[in-house]
A and B are shown apart, each in its own frame.
Chain A
Amino acid sequence: MEWVALVVSACLALISATALAWMLHAWWEPDAPTVPRRVASNALSFSLLAPARHEETVFGATLDRLAALDHEDYEVLAIVGHDDPGTTAVAEAASRRHPGRIRVIVDNSVPKSKPKALNTALPYCRGDVIGIFDAEDVVHEGLLAAVEHRFVTEDVSAVQAGVQLINFWSTWFSCHNALEYYFWFRSRLGYQASTGMIPLGGNTVFFKRDVVNELGGWDDDCLAEDCEIGIRLSSEGHRVSVMYDPDLVTREEAPVTVSEFVRQRTRWDQGFLQVLLKGYWMKLPSLRLRMWTLFTLSTPLLSALVGLTIPFTLLGIFVLKLPDAFVLATFVPLVPVLATVGVQWVGLVDLGKIAGRRPRLRDFARIALGTPAFSLMLGWAAIRAVGRQARGSISWEKTAHTGLHLHGVTSLEEAA
């Protein structure tokens, strides 16, 4: 029993320590030289895909912003469902407001999913580069110029730019959720790219059109089509560039109810699991890279395990009656957890600057105290994902958006 406790403790410590190291990857060495803000060279043309489903409340504003980006040569393809007249009307109105810029594509597939919507629009794309945005995204006007510069100066097939959940103040778990994004896009994805294997994000991601066509588009049945295409790109030896500039991040809204969050997370976890089971990553060139992919795709399951650290420690003290040295050992995983909380506090300060809203004492407290509960939620989502996958249920549990990230951020509109 003692030795089981020791092994479990060592594994938990290792998982949380490595997760922490990757969170900090972007700060590991002194800052790279800063990149001056680019003016669009218009060397490349863009097709921006914006799939939307039951998003009539926010989609119009999103399309207006997408139509006003700082670039000469791009088009916006608003993809709506044939069974969704509300959103379709909003999209068509926007198209009339921005003639020649926005086109409306109707997706007739049943049942609906985001990859199907993207695949429907793919043949209509005319740009050299395809970009993807979600219906509620607040996109920075300078983004295309920066992405274009990346494609021109680096030999890459895709560029992933930053996405940030803004409303960290909304619920007790929003700050955890927003910080996950912050560290994932600011730091972890850069590390993934440097290893040659990267699960991409769902939006603010750009591909060379030829490459997407060559790959045959997105996987219709995958719940994490973004991760899936990233792994396929990596497996085929394509290079991906990761770009993070706090000013240029695409702003998004964090889910504000537990059930919504769990549903969204279940979908991603199941998507990762699908990609894992699909086994495309076995094509990666080296064993090391394959093992690394195996680990990356298992991350949702592993991070759920870290949540067990605290109950496990309590178990060690009160129930198991272990010898003193072993009781101490069960506390070891708490050290990286403690450091993670500290690092998240620092991230929260940065996040506050991006969001234009100072984090309050309450938010710092929520990070310190909410970690166990948030981990339990992650764990629950991971268990649901495994359960759904085992039952073969791959329906798309969609996230609802109310536009919370747009309210109370007046400084954002002024700065833009």
Chain B
Amino acid sequence: MSTATLPRHATPLVAPTVPAVAKPSWIARFRPDLWLVIVVSVGAGIVHGINALGSPMPNDDEATYVSQAWALEHFGTLSHYTYSYDHPPLGWILLVPWNWALAHLAGVTDVWVSGRYAMVLVHMISAALVFGLVRRLGAARIAGVLAVAMFTLSPLGQEWQSLTLLDNIGTPFVLGACFLALDPKARLGRTVWAAALLAAAVLVKETNALFLPGVLGALWFGTRGRRRFVYVLFGTLFSGLVAFYPLYAIIKGELFEGPGHVSLLWSIKWQLLSRAGSGSALVVGSGSNMTVLDWLSKDAFLLIATVPALAITGWRVPRARPLAFATLVLFITPLRGGYLPAPFPINLIWPAAIITAVGLDAIVRGLVPRSRLTRAAAWILVTALLAAFPLQAASKADGGFWAGDKRSNYEAAGAWLKQNTRSSDVLLVDNILWIDMIQAGHTMDSTIWFYKLDDDPEIQHRYPDGWQDVDYVVLTPIMNHVGEEAPSSQAAVRNGTEVARYGDIVIYRVRH
């Protein structure tokens, strides 16, 4: 009989006909991890949840997303104004059932507040997955706890992770895809779910496509002989699901550019090509350079520790190489000189925390003798050293994240408007006050997101005299920051009389 001619793929396969011998259930095998993951997740949730509404200050983008979720819930449209394919909509689609549940089950009716609470839940899920991912990369439990601690306590992370941003909503999806892709048994089912989760992550925010090479690399392990199936299945499912975004544009007739309508391709072109670059972080004085220096002032420890950790994990931990590569790409991105989105640190902190923890684990394993006592001693030392940095940094961060009410000025301004204006008064406000006023019963017809007076044809048609049709304008840091990009708002402020002031928020009545 011929046996030598068997190609490798043709190894005889036996379909099991006898049920496998009863193995201990997965709960029994992972019990210590399971308890620990609950503890770290709840711990991370508490740390994250303290003063979640007070700090950081309400943010421009987060107000946009909660407004879009509000519009979807109440009008069934993807945006309160025209949806312009700025980002795929899955992120705020997911907020809708959450907002509904909080409103009906817990009485939380302010969507901005619901959004902040959603981020607590998102952070808890992410923390559990960070722990799980560190464990799947073969590191000790204590390394998993450390990773979650770095992820949660990073002052830079705290500045961004509390905001209702698409990057935060996408994080557990990316983490879940990485976690499943590293399934130790390399089951095909994990390929399916990893594809679905990464596609969901991309449909939450397109930039998550940056993690595609990392997930593809993670799928490599343990799939010898089945790789073609793994990658074909992943590729078709991932692209098939992501395709629903352009498909939506096609159905709306908004894929290609054309007169009189928004289009997906125009938005992509604008984001990739037309948006002004921030310069390379290596060039002193460039936008990126200042941003990166700001990051380093907030969390130099984690960002710098990641660099040697990348080298160590790349060298000693083969299963961590794909994630290390993805992290490297993210770390290099600010150097290349393109547009650097403000919430970029969100996608830096969790990979940095994981890589640093796995790197430390590799060092401890490599240097410290294999005894319980010495290993424990080494980890106590490492933890003590690490604790010093984030705690010190956290205490330095302006005002601290666990104290201070950075929302009070907005609340006060909103309260003044609700008390002193009628819903027929035309208000020109930023989007944080916009969603506040709309929820208080003002209509979209009269409460205008200030940008729209300059760039929305429909609004301009309604108010042909521009700023002269406005009754009140509220000057906020956001509006100040935009400056001359919103000339109508500027004109309204110049022709306004100050009627109330709360910190850096000033309300003007416009003189006609």
Contacts and interface: CB of A to CB of B under 8 A. Distances in A.
Given A240-B17, A328-B247, A339-B237, A245 B12 contact: yes
B11 interface: yes
B236 A327 contact: no
Interface core residue of B1, B11, B233 (most chain A CB under 10 Å):
B1
Contacts of A345: 232
B213 interface: no
Interface stretch (B183-191, B283-291, B430-438): B183-191
Contacts of A354: 10
Given A331-B244, A415-B5, A28 B14 contact: no
A214 interface: no
Nearest to A156: B17
A141 interface: yes
Contacts of B223: 30
A240 B16 CA distance: 10
Contacts of A189: 15
Interface string A23-37: 010111111111101
B156 to A, nearest CB: 38
A242 B15 contact: yes
A376 B397 CA distance: 66
Size range of the interface on A? 35 or more
A339 B240 contact: yes
Given A327-B251, A338-B236, A194 B17 contact: yes
Nearest to B230: A27
B384 interface: no
Given A24-B229, A156-B17, A335-B240, A29 B187 contact: yes
Given A34-B12, A193-B15, A239-B17, A341 B247 contact: no
Interface string B218-247: 000011011011001101110111001001
B9 A30 contact: no
A342 interface: yes
Given A24-B229, A31-B226, A246 B240 contact: no
B309 to A, nearest CB: 30
A334 interface: yes
Nearest to A33: B14
The interface centre, meaning the residue of B2, B3, B187 with most chain A CB atoms within 10 A of its CB, is B2
Contacts of A39: 1
Contact of B188 (A28, A142, A415): A28
B251 A186 contact: no
B94 to A, nearest CB: 15
A404 B241 CA distance: 41
Nearest to A70: B1
B240 A244 contact: no
A27 B11 contact: no
Interface in A33-56: 33-35, 37, 39
Given A328-B251, A335-B240, A350 B187 contact: no
B244 A247 contact: no
Contacts of A317: 251
B189 A28 contact: yes
B248 interface: yes
A28 B18 CA distance: 17
Contacts of A346: 228-229, 232
B13 interface: yes
B17 A29 contact: no
Contact of B12 (A156, A247, A324, A338): A247
B461 interface: no
Interface string A169-198: 000000000000000001001110110000
Given A37-B3, A70-B1, A346-B228, A24 B9 contact: no
B240 A247 contact: no
Nearest to A38: B1
A203 interface: no
Interface in A237-281: 239-248
Contacts of B104: none
A160 to B, nearest CB: 9
A327 B18 CA distance: 46
Interface in B393-448: none
Interface in A275-315: none
Nearest to B10: A246
Contacts of B275: none
Contacts of B240: 334-335, 338-339
B12 A244 contact: yes
Contact of A31 (B5, B19, B189, B225): B225
B187 A28 contact: yes
A244 B240 CA distance: 32
24 contacts: A27-B188, A28-B187, A30-B226, A31-B225, A31-B226, A32-B13, A34-B13, A37-B3, A70-B1, A141-B1, A142-B1, A145-B1, A154-B17, A186-B13, A194-B19, A240-B17, A242-B17, A243-B14, A244-B12, A245-B13, A324-B252, A328-B248, A345-B232, A416-B2
Given A32-B15, A191-B15, A339-B232, 20 more contacts: A24-B188, A24-B233, A26-B15, A27-B226, A28-B187, A29-B188, A34-B11, A35-B12, A39-B1, A70-B1, A142-B1, A156-B17, A193-B15, A338-B236, A338-B237, A339-B233, A343-B233, A346-B232, A350-B9, A416-B2
